[in-house]
Amino acid sequence: MTTAAATSRPATLMRNSAWDALLVALAGAHAVALVVWPSLGVVAIGLWWNSNTISHAFLHTPFFHSRVLNAAFSVFETALVGIPQTIWRQRHLAHHAGLPWRLRWSRLVGVEIMLVLIVWTTLATLALDFFLRSYFPGMLLGLTLCALHGHFEHAGGTVSHYGAAYNWLFFNDGYHVEHHSNPGLHWTRLPAAADNRATLSRWPPVLRWLDVLSLEGLERLVLRWGWLQSWVLRVHERAFRRILPFAPGLKRAAIVGGGLFPRTALLLRRLVPDAELVVIDRNVANLETARRLLDDRVQFVHAAYEPVQCCDVELVVFPLSFVGDRRVRYDVSAAPAVLVHDWIWNRRGRGAIVSWLLLKRLNLVRRCGD
């Protein structure tokens, strides 16, 4: 058969990628889990995980060539997570466009709303104990997790997380800056679009509140009190004075991640006033904070650290809170010496303790022969 209709028919069921069949299968597994283990935890975790993986991917890049199959899957997901998927799609795309959401009525919207009402009524009639003790509170908990997830993906600007485990379990949802740059890009292609200018967090979204307790969170506390800044500079200056004689002739130094409270740049400006300083930070907000505390002789570079950036410096300095491949901190191939803010128990090269209270030390490692 060689008619035009036959030749134009899609060769495959899936519209974008065969990998989407895995998400369809996992939606089926989610349904099975709800039947086999009907509990508050399965309802809550299932709603949160499905909404940020299967449902999220589907609303941006519908899985099937067939409009009928896409509508059918939308209805299935509606029953599965208890949220009308067409409404969520409208709301989510308005979020990407930066526009207020307004409900646009359609036949599919009506069908999905009616289906949710039928599911709730059926459960309340036939399984009231499960509905009151598991399903309803599970829905509330799942929606709370979704709200936290969405909040921390965008708090202070869109943020990515490149952790392998999270992106394996959540199908590259961690590449969120990249997703916002190109919302129609299929989830399998997001890692290849990684943006070295992206703001990153070491935590996945629902654990990002831990940043408050992280080193960066502690840095923000230092910025609040002048007396704490003075103490931090004083204890670091003692260590710098012990280390710098072993890095003589310093004319140019690169400071990686020098934003927030830029203690290293402040001290090098004081101790080696003629040296040129370059601060490299991937976070624009951190750089702006550092600019307010440093003079205009310091150069600022908005970029992720790459060794090639430091080929013309004598010293590269890494913070304790360095985000990225931590092995590069002690790589002296790019510069004659590296100075690393490290934990007190990690001694490398020539070291000097900063503070037992901070559990911190400075380690200086020089290139052989220098």
Answer yes or no: is pLDDT of 193 > 50.
yes
Do 256 and 324 have their domain in common? Answer: yes
Which residue shows structure tokens 């959540």? 170
CATH number, domain with residue 268 = 3.40.50.150
| Structure confidence by residue, pLDDT tens digits, 26-59 | 999 999 999 999 999 999 999 999 999 999 999 9
In this prediction, residue 176 carries a pLDDT of 95
- Rounded mean pLDDT of 152-176? 91
User: Which structure tokens are listed for 319?
Assistant: 């913070």
In this prediction, residue 61 carries a pLDDT of 96
Do 276 and 132 have their domain in common? Answer: no
| Structure confidence by residue, pLDDT tens digits, 238-251 | 999 998 888 788 88
In this prediction, residue 6 carries a pLDDT of 43
In a domain, 41, yes or no: yes
SS (H, E, C) the chain: CCCHHHHHCCCCCECCCCCHHHHHHHHHHHHHHHHHCCCHHHHHHHHHHHHHCHHHHHHHCCCECCHHHHHHHHHHHHHHHCCCHHHHHHHHHHHHHCCCCCCCCCHHHHHHHHHHHHHHHHHHHHCHHHHHHHHHHHHHHHHHHHHHHHHHHHCCCCCECCCHHHHHHCCCCCCHHHHHHCCCCCHHHCHHHCCCCCCECCCCHHHHHHHHHCHHHHHHHHHHCHHHHHHHHHHHHHHHHHHHHHCCCCCEEEEECCCCCCHHHHHHHHHCCCCEEEEEECCHHHHHHHHHHCCCCCEEEECCCCHHHHCCCCEEEECCCCCCCHHHHHCCCCCCEEEEEEECCCCCCEEEEEECCCCEEEEEEECCCC
Half-sphere exposure of 253 (CA within 13 A, CB side): 29
Phi and psi based region of residue 332 (left: phi greater than 0; alpha: psi -120 to 50; beta: remaining): alpha
pTM value?
Answer: 0.61
CA diameter of the chain: 84
Answer yes or no: is pLDDT of 5 > 50.
no
Do 250 and 183 have their domain in common? Answer: no
Length of the chain: 370
In a domain, 206, yes or no: no
In a domain, 194, yes or no: yes
In this prediction, residue 336 carries a pLDDT of 85
Single residue among 175, 201, 227 that ends a domain in this structure: 201
- Rounded mean pLDDT of 140-168? 91
d(CA 146, CA 173): 13
Angle formed at CA 184 by CA 179 and CA 190, multiple of 5 degrees: 40
Confidence class of residue 189 from pLDDT cuts 50, 70 and 90?
very high
Please give the mean pLDDT across all residues of the chain. Answer: 87
In this prediction, residue 200 carries a pLDDT of 86
In a domain, 120, yes or no: yes
57 is in which domain, residue-wise?
A: 4-201
Q: What are the beta bridge partners of residue 204?
A: none
Do 267 and 166 have their domain in common? Answer: no
In this prediction, residue 286 carries a pLDDT of 80
- Rounded mean pLDDT of 214-227? 70
d(CA 40, CA 142): 9
Confidence class of residue 132 from pLDDT cuts 50, 70 and 90?
very high
Do 234 and 109 have their domain in common? Answer: no
Single residue among 169, 201, 233 that ends a domain in this structure: 201
Single residue among 139, 174, 201 that ends a domain in this structure: 201
Half-sphere exposure of 14 (CA within 13 A, CB side): 13
What phi and psi, each to the nearest 5 degrees, are found at residue 100? -65, 145
Counting Cβ atoms within 10 Å, is residue 184 exposed (0-12), middle (13-18) or buried (19+)? Answer: exposed
Q: Residue type at 339?
A: L
Looking at per-residue pLDDT, the higher value among 78 and 233 belongs to 78
Confidence class of residue 171 from pLDDT cuts 50, 70 and 90?
very high
The total number of structural domains in the chain stands at: 2
Answer yes or no: is pLDDT of 206 > 90.
no
In a domain, 168, yes or no: yes
End-to-end CA distance of the chain: 76
User: Which structure tokens are listed for 141?
Assistant: 């908990």
Do 136 and 253 have their domain in common? Answer: no
| Structure confidence by residue, pLDDT tens digits, 255-308 | 887 556 788 888 898 898 888 898 888 888 788 888 888 888 888 888 888 777
- Count of C-beta atoms within a 10 Å radius of residue 321: 15
Do 46 and 158 have their domain in common? Answer: yes
Answer yes or no: is pLDDT of 216 > 90.
no
In a domain, 190, yes or no: yes
In a domain, 147, yes or no: yes
Do 47 and 103 have their domain in common? Answer: yes
Do 192 and 237 have their domain in common? Answer: no
In a domain, 214, yes or no: no
Do 16 and 163 have their domain in common? Answer: yes
Do 196 and 311 have their domain in common? Answer: no
Do 169 and 245 have their domain in common? Answer: no
Answer yes or no: is pLDDT of 8 > 60.
no
| Structure confidence by residue, pLDDT tens digits, 62-95 | 999 999 999 999 999 999 999 999 999 999 999 9
Nearest Cα to 40, choosing from 136, 119, 145? 136
- Rounded mean pLDDT of 303-318? 81
Looking at per-residue pLDDT, the higher value among 27 and 370 belongs to 27
